[in-house]
Structures are given as C-alpha cells and as structure tokens.
C-alpha cells in the first residue's frame, strides 16, 4: 500500500508540473503539446507519432511542438483520456476499444469480422464514416484526429491450430477485459478468460490458459511465441488505434494552428502504415525462425458463429446505420 501511494504521489506531482507548463505555454512564441501514450519507443505506432511530431514542427515553423511521454509514464489509456478531458494533457493514442468507453459509437469497430480486409478497413476509416466517428468524440471532450494501423488479432495456442470453431471447445483463451471480446470467444465455443496482459506469459507457461489472441507485433514482443507454437491467422478483429486531442486544448488553437495539427496527423498516417507493415514482416520472420507454425483458416464458419454480436449491436438504430454503411462500402 505504501509503494502504491508513493507511486501515485509521484504521478500526481508530475501531472501538476505538466499542468503548470501547459498553462504557461503561450507566454513564449510557441505552444507545446504534451502527447502521452502507453507503448514502448520501439513500437511502430510510436514511430508514427514521431513522424507527426516532425511534420507539425515543419508546418508550424516551430510554433507548435509535440513533447512525447511514452511507456505509460502518465498512466493507462483510460487515465490519460481523462487527463485530456480536464485539459492537463493535450493528446494521446489509444485503442478504439478504449475510446468506446467514452464515445459509444467506437464500439462498432470491435465487431468480429467487421472488415473484409485491411484495404476495406482503411477505406472506411479514411472516409465519411471514419470522420463521423472521429468528430463524434468531441461531444465527450475527445476529438479524434486520425486512425493508426493496429493490425488484426488472431488466435495463438499451446496445442494445435484453431482450424474451425470446434477446435476452441474446452480451451481457455485469454482476452482483454472487454465484453465484446468475451462474447466472441464464448460464441465460438471457447472459454473466454479476461486477464491482465502482464500476467499472460506466466499463465501460458503454467497452462492456466490454453492460448490467447493478438496481432503479430504483440505476439512477438511479448515473447508469447516462445511457449505458443501454433498461430491461426483468422484475423477476427481489426481494431485500429486513434490519435486523440482533448477539446480543452483544441479550442485554444486558432484555425491555422488546427490546420497544421490535422495535416501533420494525416501525413503521419501514411508513414505509420509503412512502419506497421515492416514490423509485421519482421515479426513473421522471427516466428518462422522460432518454428512457430502458421495456419490460414476458412473464416466463414467463424463469421457465422459470431453473427449474433453484430445482430445485437444493430438493435441500436444508430449502430445499425453505421454497420450498414460499412457493409455497403
């Protein structure tokens, strides 16, 4: 308890310093945007943020600058989103799943097998539907600027491939603490087991769970491939990351400054996609050398088993409109 209070005290102190710096930003001839996220600096998303930092400095002639706080220095995704809402931090990058706790329309992006492929996903996210989702967060003081590639999540297991939904029967599969992820695994016949990500490696080693699901870079950087030698690329979800700016900060910018920031975000998307694909390719090479076996299943039985999730969401008239638009694109 004492350690917890000490750590919390340090975090509160750091945030207090940031608030002071943040509020004093316009004393000088430039504004500094504090950008906090939870990923390591080697991650392709962090590299995308660096590209945004560089583009914004160039476009604004140094009048707008981004200072990045990676590795969860300022808290979890939820905690940082709350800091954006009160104006203590300007920007962050979070999963669309985290945004759905604040702006409900983002829930649609977690529907299993919603997107036909990566091209379909980005045609949706970079079109009118994506813009509507990004803008809709402003109602909750969280304005979306752009979407980043976060890949597709697939199953990896200790014993054998998940060639069909029947192969999940009797298997405990670690999922995020997200109801849609829990429902998906249960509908497929498995036993969804929410668990903290940091506990998963040991849980796999000790066979507390039989497998998990994630994208290629996460599967590799977590070292879960050391114990799970079967990776089934069913690509059941493609939940993007979202770059978010707090409206408290956004409203302090003039129209020119807003244009610089949006343009820098849009430019960074192109580079981040490349960084992500490069990381996936490197990851697949690592998996091959580690003798991880890869299987590409027929997705249709998986899609059929999880249809109820989509149908339940469509009972909400607002969600039905968004889902129909996505399916028709």
pLDDT single digits (tens) 164-220: 999 999 999 999 888 899 999 999 999 999 998 889 999 999 999 999 999 999 999
> Nearest-CA neighbor of 93 among 11, 18, 148, 14?
148
What stretches in the chain show pLDDT beneath 50? Answer: 1-10, 12-13, 17, 19-27
pTM as predicted: 0.87
* β partners of residue 218: none
Q: Give the per-residue pLDDT at 177.
A: 83
SS3 content of the chain, % helix, strand, coil (to 5): 55, 20, 30
Helix and strand numbers (H, E) in the chain are 14, 11
Domains and CATH numbers, the chain: 2-149+240-278 (3.40.190.170), 153-238+282-327 (3.40.190.170)
Q: Give the per-residue pLDDT at 290.
A: 98
Render pLDDT for 123-150 as a digit per residue (tens, 0 to 9). Answer: 999 999 999 999 999 999 999 999 999 9
Q: Which residues of 74-96 are buried (b: 16+ CB within 10 A; e: fewer)?
A: bbebebbbbbbbebbbbbbbbbb
Q: Give the per-residue pLDDT at 9.
A: 47
- The Cα–Cα gap between 290 and 288 comes to 5
């Amino acid at each position: 308890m004492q350690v917890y209070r000490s750590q919390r005290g340090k975090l509160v102190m750091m945030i207090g310093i940031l608030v002071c710096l943040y509020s004093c930003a316009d004393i000088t001839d430039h504004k500094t945007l504090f950008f906090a996220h939870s990923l390591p600096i080697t991650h392709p998303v962090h590299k995308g943020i660096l590209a945004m930092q560089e583009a914004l400095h160039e476009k604004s002639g140094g009048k707008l600058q981004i200072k990045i706080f990676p590795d969860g220095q300022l808290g979890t995704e939820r905690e940082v989103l709350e800091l954006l809402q009160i104006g203590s931090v300007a920007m962050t990058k979070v999963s669309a799943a985290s945004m759905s706790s604040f702006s409900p329309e983002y829930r649609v992006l977690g529907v299993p097998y919603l997107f036909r492929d990566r091209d379909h996903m980005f045609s949706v996210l970079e079109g009118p539907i994506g813009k509507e989702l990004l803008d809709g967060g402003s109602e909750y003081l969280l304005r979306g600027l752009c979407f980043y590639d976060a890949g597709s999540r697939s199953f990896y297991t200790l014993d054998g491939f998940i060639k069909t939904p029947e192969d999940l029967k009797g298997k405990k599969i670690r999922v995020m603490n997200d109801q849609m992820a829990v429902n998906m695994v249960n509908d497929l016949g498995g036993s969804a087991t929410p668990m903290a990500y940091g506990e998963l490696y040991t849980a796999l080693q000790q066979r507390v769970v039989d497998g998990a699901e994630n994208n290629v870079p996460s599967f590799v950087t977590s070292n879960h491939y050391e114990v799970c030698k079967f990776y089934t690329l069913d690509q059941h979800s493609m939940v993007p990351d979202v770059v978010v700016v707090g409206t408290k900060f956004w409203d302090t910018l003039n129209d020119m400054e807003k244009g610089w920031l949006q343009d820098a975000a849009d430019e960074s998307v192109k580079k981040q996609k490349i960084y992500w694909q490069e990381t996936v390719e490197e990851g697949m090479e690592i998996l091959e050398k580690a003798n991880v076996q890869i299987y590409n299943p027929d997705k249709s039985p998986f899609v059929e088993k999880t249809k109820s999730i989509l149908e339940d969401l469509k009972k909400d008239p607002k969600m039905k409109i968004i889902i129909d638009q996505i399916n028709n694109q």
